A and B are shown apart, each in its own frame.
Chain A
Amino acid sequence: MSEITSSNGHPPTDPHHDSRSTQELGEPIPNPGLPEHQPRPSDVDPAMERRAERQVAGMFVAATVLALAFCVCYFTIDPQATVFGYGAMNLALGTTLGLALLLIGLGANHWARKLMADHEIIEYRHSAASSPEDREAAITAFKTGAAESGFGRRTLVRNTLLGALGVLGLPAVVLLRDLGPLPGDSLDHTVWRKGVRIVNDVAGTPLRPADIELGQLVNAEPALFFPQQGPNGKVIPARYDGTALNDEKAKAAVILVRMLPEDIHPIKSQASWGYDGILCYSKICTHVGCPISLWEQQTHHLLCPCHQSTFDLAHSGRVIFGPAARSLPQLNIGLDSEGYLIALHDFYVPVGPSFWERG
Chain B
Amino acid sequence: MSTAANSKGDGAVKWLDERVGLAGLAKKQLRKVFPDHWSFLLGEIALWSFVILLLTGVFLSLWFKPSMTEVQYVGSYSNLRGIKMSEAYASTLNISFDVRGGLLMRQMHHWAANLFLAAMSIHMLRIFFTGAFRKPREINWLIGLSLLMLGILEGFAGYSLPDDLLSGTGLRIADGIIRSIPVVGTYAEFFIFGGQFPGDIFIPRLYTVHVLLIPGLLLGLISAHMLLLVYQKHTQWPGPGRTNDNVVGFPLLPVYMAKAGGFFFIVFGVTALMGALMQINPIWMYGPYDPGEVTAGSQPDWYMGWLEGGLRIMPNWESHLWGFTISWNVMIPGLALMGILFTALGAYPFIERWITGDNAEHHLLDRPRNQPTRTGLGVAGITAYGLLWIAGGNDVIATHFDLSLNSITWFMRFAIFIGPVIAFTVARRWAISLQHHDRELLLHGYETGVIVRSPDGGYSELHAPLSPEHAYLLSTQPRSVPLQLPPGEDSNGIPAPLHRKERLRIRLSQFWYADDVQKPTADELEAAHHHHDDDGPMIEDGHHVGIETGGQVGGDDFDLEETPAQN
A10 contacts across to B, CB distance below 8 A: 486, 496-498, 502
A98 and B275 within 8 A (CB): yes
B538 within 8 A of A: no
B183 contacts across to A, CB distance below 8 A: 356
Chain B stretch 240-286: residues in CB contact (< 8 A) with chain A? 240-251, 254-255, 258-259, 261-277
B245 to chain A, nearest CB (A): 5
B318 and A29 within 8 A (CB): no
Roughly how many angstroms separate A118 CA and B251 CA in the complex, as a whole number?
A: 9
A183 contacts across to B, CB distance below 8 A: 186-187, 189-190
A355 and B179 within 8 A (CB): yes
A98 and B291 within 8 A (CB): no
24 A-B contacts (beta carbon < 8 Å): A7-B501, A11-B486, A12-B357, A12-B484, A13-B483, A26-B522, A29-B442, A29-B472, A33-B240, A101-B268, A104-B269, A117-B255, A123-B32, A123-B233, A128-B231, A128-B361, A180-B194, A201-B292, A242-B200, A250-B172, A292-B294, A308-B406, A323-B314, A357-B325
A35 within 8 A of B: yes
B169 within 8 A of A: yes
A59 to chain B, nearest CB (A): 10
Residues of A in contact, count (CB < 8 Å): 112
A291 and B293 within 8 A (CB): yes
B121 within 8 A of A: no
B10 within 8 A of A: no
A354 contacts across to B, CB distance below 8 A: 179-180, 318, 325, 327, 330
> Interface stretch among B148-156, B373-381, B473-481?
B473-481
Residue from B190, B395, B483 within 8 A of A305 (CB atoms): B395
B97 contacts across to A, CB distance below 8 A: 79
Residue from A25, A90, A292, A355 within 8 A of B185 (CB atoms): A355
Residues of B in contact, count (CB < 8 Å): 150
Roughly how many angstroms separate A7 CA and B506 CA in the complex, as a whole number?
A: 13
> Interface stretch among B18-26, B100-108, B112-120, B419-427?
B100-108
**Per-residue contact bits, chain B 163-176, to A (CB 8 Å; 1 contact, 0 not):** 00000010011011
Show the binding face of B for A, using Cβ within 8 Å. 31-33, 68-70, 76, 97-98, 100-101, 103-104, 107-108, 136, 169, 172-173, 175-177, 179-187, 189-200, 231-233, 240-251, 254-255, 258-259, 261-277, 290-298, 308, 311-318, 320, 323-327, 329-330, 333-334, 356-361, 363, 394-395, 405-406, 409, 442, 468-469, 471-472, 474-475, 478-479, 481-486, 496-499, 501-502, 505-506, 509, 519-525
A130 contacts across to B, CB distance below 8 A: none
B198 and A306 within 8 A (CB): no
A32 within 8 A of B: yes
B458 to chain A, nearest CB (A): 30
Contacts A104-B265, A242-B70, A288-B334 known; list 6 others, CB within 8 Å.
Answer: A80-B76, A120-B248, A121-B248, A241-B70, A243-B200, A305-B296
**Per-residue contact bits, chain A 322-359, to B (CB 8 Å; 1 contact, 0 not):** 11111000000000000000000000000011111111
B370 to chain A, nearest CB (A): 13
B193 and A180 within 8 A (CB): yes
Of A1, A108, A306, chain B has the most CB atoms within 10 Å of the CB of: A306
A8 to chain B, nearest CB (A): 5
A359 and B320 within 8 A (CB): yes
A290 within 8 A of B: yes
A18 and B360 within 8 A (CB): yes
A353 and B294 within 8 A (CB): no
A355 and B180 within 8 A (CB): yes
A100 within 8 A of B: yes
A288 and B330 within 8 A (CB): yes
Q: Contacts A109-B266, A356-B325; is A28 near B247 (CB within 8 Å)?
A: no
A107 and B409 within 8 A (CB): no
A353 and B180 within 8 A (CB): yes
B250 and A121 within 8 A (CB): yes
A323 contacts across to B, CB distance below 8 A: 311-316, 329-330, 333
Roughly how many angstroms separate A49 CA and B187 CA in the complex, as a whole number?
A: 70
**Per-residue contact bits, chain A 16-60, to B (CB 8 Å; 1 contact, 0 not):** 111001100111111111110000000000000000000000000
Roughly how many angstroms separate A91 CA and B278 CA in the complex, as a whole number?
A: 10
B262 contacts across to A, CB distance below 8 A: 104-109, 111-112
A266 within 8 A of B: no
Residue from B98, B232, B312, B523 within 8 A of A128 (CB atoms): B232
Roughly how many angstroms separate A355 CA and B199 CA in the complex, as a whole number?
A: 19
Roughly how many angstroms separate A111 CA and B263 CA in the complex, as a whole number?
A: 12
A88 to chain B, nearest CB (A): 11
A105 and B264 within 8 A (CB): yes
A179 and B194 within 8 A (CB): yes
A176 within 8 A of B: yes
B522 and A105 within 8 A (CB): no
A250 and B197 within 8 A (CB): yes
B241 and A35 within 8 A (CB): yes
Chain A stretch 306-332: residues in CB contact (< 8 A) with chain B? 306-309, 319, 321-326
A247 and B475 within 8 A (CB): no
A116 within 8 A of B: yes
Roughly how many angstroms separate A186 CA and B186 CA in the complex, as a whole number?
A: 10
**Per-residue contact bits, chain A 235-260, to B (CB 8 Å; 1 contact, 0 not):** 00000011100110111010000000
Residue from B199, B276, B327, B472 within 8 A of A247 (CB atoms): B199
A182 within 8 A of B: yes
B312 and A308 within 8 A (CB): yes
Roughly how many angstroms separate A356 CA and B187 CA in the complex, as a whole number?
A: 10
A150 contacts across to B, CB distance below 8 A: none
A306 and B294 within 8 A (CB): yes
A217 to chain B, nearest CB (A): 13
Closest residue of chain B to A219 (Cβ to Cβ) is B292
B265 and A291 within 8 A (CB): no
Residue from B181, B357, B361 within 8 A of A4 (CB atoms): B357
B198 contacts across to A, CB distance below 8 A: 243, 246-247, 250
A181 within 8 A of B: yes
Residue from A97, A111, A118, A219 within 8 A of B272 (CB atoms): A97
B294 and A290 within 8 A (CB): yes
Roughly how many angstroms separate A105 CA and B31 CA in the complex, as a whole number?
A: 21
B409 and A322 within 8 A (CB): yes
A125 within 8 A of B: yes
B33 and A121 within 8 A (CB): yes
B173 and A288 within 8 A (CB): yes
Across the A-B interface, the 8 shortest Cβ-Cβ residue pairs: A94-B276, A288-B176, A108-B262, A102-B269, A34-B241, A105-B265, A98-B272, A101-B269
A25 and B294 within 8 A (CB): no
Closest residue of chain A to B233 (Cβ to Cβ) is A125
A293 and B272 within 8 A (CB): no
A307 and B312 within 8 A (CB): yes
Roughly how many angstroms separate A250 CA and B406 CA in the complex, as a whole number?
A: 28
Residue from A8, A123, A253 within 8 A of B247 (CB atoms): A123
Roughly how many angstroms separate A326 CA and B474 CA in the complex, as a whole number?
A: 59
A305 and B329 within 8 A (CB): no
Chain A stretch 162-219: residues in CB contact (< 8 A) with chain B? 176, 179-183, 186-187, 201, 219
Roughly how many angstroms separate A181 CA and B193 CA in the complex, as a whole number?
A: 10
Q: Contacts A116-B254, A293-B294, A308-B409; is A124 near B246 (CB within 8 Å)?
A: yes
Closest residue of chain A to B202 (Cβ to Cβ) is A180
